[in-house]
Chain A
């Protein structure tokens, strides 16, 4: 059976109450689901013996600026067993700007989530060490949001104290 069909079938069998939205664009499979179920879906994808998505390549987010669900958190995971890359997506709204952390599933997601938090201000619940990745700790903006100007905000980064 095709690996894409297998992934979708397994997901539908194991999570009958979750509404999965699938996109297959340029031979890359994307699965979208509500953000509440992110940890259990990821845990299943990693632990299922036929799938074994052992490697979390990347965690990031997209800021859609004017859409109702403003952010989409994107995960790229990879299965060595099937030589297959899967993209997971979950929408996050600005009013409740948080999603559960997947560091309990893949430890490697730790820094990726910190970077996403730093750049977009999305909080990852149950993350063990949610500090900023690149920007100084007392910086109050999130630079990759679309409303942050390219030029930066003058005076937003204080000069080091002497």
Chain B
């Protein structure tokens, strides 16, 4: 035990132990144990480190430690142009990179005062919803795997693989897509990509129902997650839960409905809400959300207009390559944007989208230069992990993995 404690910083131990009492570590450890979980642990979904204080098998305190994947993206953003930062947003929530791209370009467009053409907005909605489906598929599969139901993970990943194939056709990359552009998307959605999306959502609901049946009739799974890790609506709001997690606690808060961006105001969809606030409810919310997402994608495919997918405004948006090679003006603008970036007027904006994990916001401060003066990424996973110490207390150590899985944190996003 002594050797293990040396690896934990004294300040973490101080936070873990009750600060009002002045017991020393040696005294406290008489009946209790300090357990270090992570950062290398398969059930922490990345490099999350939890320092747990245990009484027997019961958790009595928990201190999460972040920063093992901190790459300083906010610092990098201050030193590069708005275009250059698009690929970096892929690495935030690496399970749904498409949604992050969309969040970033929407924030920049708001700052620069431009709006993408309608077809581009519909394509963005389609990819954001497909990204939500892939993210929830991984979340549910990994969650079930954490509590011992291995097969579901293989089945949900099989479905996710089909979406990755769609990404491959759409933009040529399966994981780090960088498909959205300021003022539109990189290229028009090909007919075969759209046909594949249609095929995917047509067969998806049936396959999802199969996965669901596998879990909902699994008594071991249900009993391990039912009533575990419950949090009330008030506490969840106070601690900053967003996304599926807050909807599982009974608050119908969804930015697609509350502050519609893109064309969500034209789409008909429901917001699934459960009131229990436990791991099971969070799982049910994700299932229902995937069904809603297929509903949205189906409407998007029906309503998608024809037309341009990139704004033709050479002073603010990179011109088409064909025009750069044939027209002098466009060549000059292309040179200026590549070298000095778009220069949004001085000001500040906060724009948030409903990402797969919750509210993904970007706070940008511009001084009229080609790079942002300040960029803050409000990542949902960061705030969701903050709730862990609150809901872990009083649970058995084997419930810890179930609770982490149900919250679905992505460390790339939490650590930025």
Contact = CB atoms under 8 A, between A and B. Distances in A.
Interface string A99-120: 0000000111011100100010
A28 B349 contact: yes
B261 interface: no
Contacts of A108: 238-240, 383, 386
A60 B350 CA distance: 12
B110 interface: yes
Interface of B: 9, 11-12, 15, 66-67, 70, 72, 74-76, 79, 110, 113, 237-240, 251, 253, 258-259, 347-350, 352, 359, 361, 363, 365, 373-374, 376, 378, 382-383, 386, 415-416
Contacts of A25: 347-349
Interface string A118-159: 010000000001011111110000011000101000000000
A74 B239 contact: no
A58 B74 contact: no
A85 B312 CA distance: 32
B258 A83 contact: yes
A76 B12 CA distance: 29
A15 interface: no
List the 4 shortest-distance A-B pairs measured between CB atoms, nearest first. Answer: A108-B240, A134-B67, A134-B70, A60-B376
B240 A56 contact: yes
B238 A107 contact: yes
A30 B349 CA distance: 10
Contact of A76 (B66, B363, B386): B363
A80 B76 CA distance: 33
B66 A119 contact: no
Interface of A: 25-26, 28, 30, 54-58, 60, 62-63, 74, 76, 80, 83, 85, 87, 106-108, 110-112, 115, 119, 129, 131-137, 143-144, 148, 150
A41 B376 CA distance: 23
Contacts of A115: 382
Contact of B237 (A26, A54, A85, A150): A54
22 contacts: A54-B238, A55-B237, A58-B376, A58-B378, A60-B363, A63-B374, A74-B376, A76-B350, A80-B237, A85-B350, A87-B350, A107-B239, A108-B386, A111-B386, A132-B67, A133-B66, A134-B415, A134-B416, A136-B67, A137-B9, A144-B74, A144-B75
B144 to A, nearest CB: 28
A58 B363 contact: yes
B363 A26 contact: no
Given A25-B347, A108-B238, A57 B66 contact: no
A58 to B, nearest CB: 5
A57 B378 contact: yes
A25 to B, nearest CB: 5
B238 A106 contact: yes
Nearest to B234: A54
B374 to A, nearest CB: 5
